[in-house]
Structure 1
Amino acid sequence: MIEKDVIIVGGGAAGFFAAINIAELNPNLKVAILERGSEGLQKVKVSGGGRCNVTHAEFIPQELIKNYPRGEKELLGPFHQFMTGDTIDWFEKRGVALKIEEDGRMFPVSNSSQTILDCFLSEAQKHDVEVLYNNSVKSIAKFENKWLIKTSNADFLTQKLLIATGSNSKIWELLSNLGHTIIQPVPSLFTFDIKDDRIKEIPGVVAQNVEVKVVDSNLWSEGPLLITHVGMSAPSILKLSAFGAVELAKRNYKFQIEINFIKQSFEDCLDVLKELKHDLAKKSVFKSTQFDLPKRLWQKLVLATNMNEESRWADLNKSQLEGLAAQLTQAVFNVTGKSTFKEEFVTAGGVDLKEINFKTFESKLHNNLFFAGEVINVDAVTGGFNFQNAWTSGYIAAKSIAEC
């Protein structure tokens, strides 16, 4: 039996961040991380295309919470305790400078996730945090007012237990056995699979500012849209997948979306097209790209409106003008499935938020049981927000553990 003051289950972002802070805030505590694999921090390593999107340059808690489909209300208080600025300060004090990109995402100046891994590993070593690899947790139980954790390698006893495993069905099952309610996990942050002649053969085309709605629902989002080899991606789609995660799972990922490529009403668009019919009378519609749309996308939408490459503006009848306006503002696409967004697999689901004290991230059902990161039913849109939740929850749990 190995005894520690604090055991952290999960050697990912939230686990390492919490462990380092606990050891720093209270050097008298013996802290150990149990990692099921032969190396930890693998999700950190591949995040942001290998650059690690550490956080997002949003410094107002009330605005930051809007990026969390699940956890928006609960995270307002925690973000007042540990916010984006605190994250930047934490890393910079440890020699990791961060930079802000145009879209607000923040990365290490080195442009390498290895910088973050090296920081965590060196800080863990500096503060005598023991990282025990190849320790897959088999059971968690109360034992003489302490926590008994049995792994594939050993038995551990601890006063305080922090679960920071992310999306882990085995751990959720063990927590369920302890009486916690687990919200059924479903994928979040995914791209849409779409087969349609209007986007065929134009992968890589980006429409910079569109509005996307799920037909027969209240779900919508806006932002850039990327056409891919299998369908559609980019922020407008990813935000929709995150906020619609539960609803889209119920639909088995088969549904329709309506896209407004120019963010104008059908009527306003039709008025513009009528003016163009007059102003560009002798020109080819196919070759006269409008509304700042990518040329190849415009041409696909024109061909979808009962026209050919030779059709002139002057020759367009009422039906063709209305058809083009509909393609630009009300284009409907059939989604037939989903694909994981890069390596960043995120789920909606986990420990029910009603069973967590968000001032401490301690379980309301069991004393000295804490949570951090995505093991709870919190998830975010892409852009560094999931990591900010990891840092905030990890720090507040660490502070609670170190003080009590």
Structure 2
Amino acid sequence: MNSKYDIIIIGGGAAGFFTAINIVENNPNLNVAILERGKTVLEKVRISGGGRCNVTHACFVPNDLVKFYPRGERELKGPFNQFSSGDTIEWFEKHGVELKIEEDGRMFPVSDSSDTIIDCFMDAVKKLKIDVLTNHSVQELYKTETHWKVTTTQDVFTCENLVMATGSNPKIWELLQNLGHSIEEPVPSLFTFNVKDVRIKELMGISTPATVKVKKSKLEASGPLLITHWGLSGPGILRLSAWGARELADKKYHFAIMVNWLNETSFDEAIEALKESKEENAKKSVLKYPQFELPKRLWENLVKAAGITEEVKWADLNKNQLNALTEQLTNGEYQVNGKSTFKEEFVTAGGIQLKEVNFKTMESKLLPNLYFAGEILNIDAITGGFNFQNAWTGGFIVAESIAKQ
């Protein structure tokens, strides 16, 4: 086995493969290897988007695209002007994979199968003669004046350029720390909230647009809220967990949230609407006559929480009951005690500090000929294909920089 390469890429995931393929397409003479510590490659690609692979997002303006990144927003502006979602679509089309846009903007292969993306990558590395070496866990990294030395569990390799695409791998972070890089401590980013509350008990599966704020904090997010058997999930909660990753970790995942089940509707607007219902539906039971298109069972629970029994007709509602019901609808307080990981799409905030990377080339500012792509950096996004877009963009820029050498 050849242990001397022009370029070694550590990490056999999305960023690693994309970088390798682009490097050799730019420079067919280069000798490139991907080293992967596991038995298989592209595992996250396989499980992403429920096995369909959420390749990117249909947000085509770089300045809008960066807004989906709680960490990395400023740094990604330049890179996204070089390679953005539109370029991703074109790249995959050129490689025989057609993508489609879903209603929420997420993009998947037309086949609805992540195997399409994996096959595309595996065919490309085979055609380009890129060596993919599994079960190679990196033990040591060493920089000489002229090259890099990489020791794995199986062999010792040398290369001129080294690309790190290892995602959230604490062992690799530690090796890079020993070489002088600083690491932003990793904390979970996409997670759901554990909430035990009589108002949402037995309602699992109900989803409705809502706005959620963290009490005594500036954190706030809107989006569909999904009630689960352990608490609250859905895009709104995941957004909040991404933007609040550090702050909520500091709170040890114990905090209160205020939920507006009417989303953008304010307390005053809600109370006016309820007063109109009082006149229009005078003889009907408040409990049995849901308003604001809220799911029926959720409405019933909120009415009960406001102290209104089944016998109470709309006409009988007094001022205190109206206020209590409006408060439950627009400003209910819920206690969060702990978090649950969101499916397998575990994302962490943390990684190589961004000030130590040149975002024009994705090269380390401290160690020449060392490049980074993907989640190894302190960059992460909310769900929707954005974490993959960061991987594709980083990989593309690394390949361009190496081509220019």
**Quick check: TM above 0.5?**
yes
1:266 and 2:270 are equivalent in the alignment:
no
CA deviation string 1:357-381 (max 9, x = no partner): 0000000001100000000000000
- The corresponding residue for 2:237 is 237
* Counterpart residue type for residue 224 of structure 1: P
SS in 2 for 1:224: strand
CA deviation string 1:121-141 (max 9, x = no partner): 000111011000000000111
Cα offset, 1:393, TM superposition: 0.4
- The corresponding residue for 2:307 is 306
- The corresponding residue for 1:228 is 228
- The corresponding residue for 1:353 is 354
Equivalent runs, 1:268-307 vs 2, <5 Å: 268-307=269-308
Cα offset, 1:244, TM superposition: 0.2
* Counterpart residue type for residue 377 of structure 1: N
CA deviation string 1:86-106 (max 9, x = no partner): 100110111110000000000
Give structure 2 stretches of 5+ with no counterpart.
none
Cα offset, 1:28, TM superposition: 0.9
Equivalent runs, 1:50-129 vs 2, <5 Å: 50-129=51-130
Cα offset, 1:402, TM superposition: 2.4
Rounded Cα–Cα distance in structure 2 between residues aligned with 1:143 and 1:265: 63
Rounded Cα–Cα distance in structure 2 between residues aligned with 1:149 and 1:111: 38
- The corresponding residue for 2:198 is 197
Rounded Cα–Cα distance in structure 2 between residues aligned with 1:275 and 1:9: 64
Cα offset, 1:143, TM superposition: 2.4
Cα offset, 1:310, TM superposition: 2.5
TM-score (norm 2): 0.98
SS in 2 for 1:166: coil
Q: How many residues align?
A: 403
1:133 and 2:134 are equivalent in the alignment:
yes
* Counterpart residue type for residue 166 of structure 2: T
Cα offset, 1:292, TM superposition: 1.4
Rounded Cα–Cα distance in structure 1 between residues aligned with 2:313 and 2:79: 59
Give structure 1 stretches of 5+ with no counterpart.
none
The range that moved more, 257-266 or 119-128, is: 257-266
- The corresponding residue for 1:375 is 376
Rounded Cα–Cα distance in structure 2 between residues aligned with 1:107 and 1:142: 40
SS in 2 for 1:223: strand
SS in 1 for 2:108: strand
- The corresponding residue for 1:28 is 29
SS in 2 for 1:72: coil
Cα offset, 1:144, TM superposition: 3.8
- The corresponding residue for 2:183 is 182
Q: Is the 8 Å Cα contact of residues 214 and 257 (structure 1) preserved in structure 2?
A: yes
Q: Percent of aligned pairs with the same residue?
A: 62
Q: Is the 8 Å Cα contact of residues 17 and 394 (structure 1) preserved in structure 2?
A: yes
- The corresponding residue for 2:215 is 215
* Counterpart residue type for residue 332 of structure 1: E
Rounded Cα–Cα distance in structure 2 between residues aligned with 1:312 and 1:269: 18
TM-score (norm 1): 0.99
The range that moved more, 298-307 or 99-108, is: 298-307
Cα offset, 1:309, TM superposition: 2.3
Cα offset, 1:145, TM superposition: 2.1
SS in 2 for 1:377: coil
* Counterpart residue type for residue 44 of structure 2: K
* Counterpart residue type for residue 245 of structure 1: A
- The corresponding residue for 1:168 is 169
* Counterpart residue type for residue 319 of structure 1: N
- The corresponding residue for 1:256 is 256
SS in 1 for 2:171: helix
Cα offset, 1:264, TM superposition: 1.6
Rounded Cα–Cα distance in structure 2 between residues aligned with 1:314 and 1:88: 57
Cα offset, 1:266, TM superposition: 1.1
Rounded Cα–Cα distance in structure 2 between residues aligned with 1:109 and 1:258: 39
1:403 and 2:404 are equivalent in the alignment:
yes
Cα offset, 1:211, TM superposition: 1.0
Rounded Cα–Cα distance in structure 2 between residues aligned with 1:359 and 1:256: 41
* Counterpart residue type for residue 42 of structure 1: E
Cα offset, 1:2, TM superposition: 1.3
* Counterpart residue type for residue 283 of structure 2: K
SS in 1 for 2:345: coil
Q: Is the 8 Å Cα contact of residues 26 and 403 (structure 1) preserved in structure 2?
A: no
Q: Is the 8 Å Cα contact of residues 11 and 33 (structure 1) preserved in structure 2?
A: yes
1:39 and 2:23 are equivalent in the alignment:
no
Cα offset, 1:403, TM superposition: 2.2
- The corresponding residue for 1:11 is 12
Rounded Cα–Cα distance in structure 1 between residues aligned with 2:122 and 2:58: 25
Rounded Cα–Cα distance in structure 2 between residues aligned with 1:393 and 1:308: 58
Cα offset, 1:399, TM superposition: 1.2
* Counterpart residue type for residue 284 of structure 1: S
Rounded Cα–Cα distance in structure 2 between residues aligned with 1:356 and 1:144: 20
Rounded Cα–Cα distance in structure 2 between residues aligned with 1:402 and 1:154: 27
Cα offset, 1:223, TM superposition: 1.1
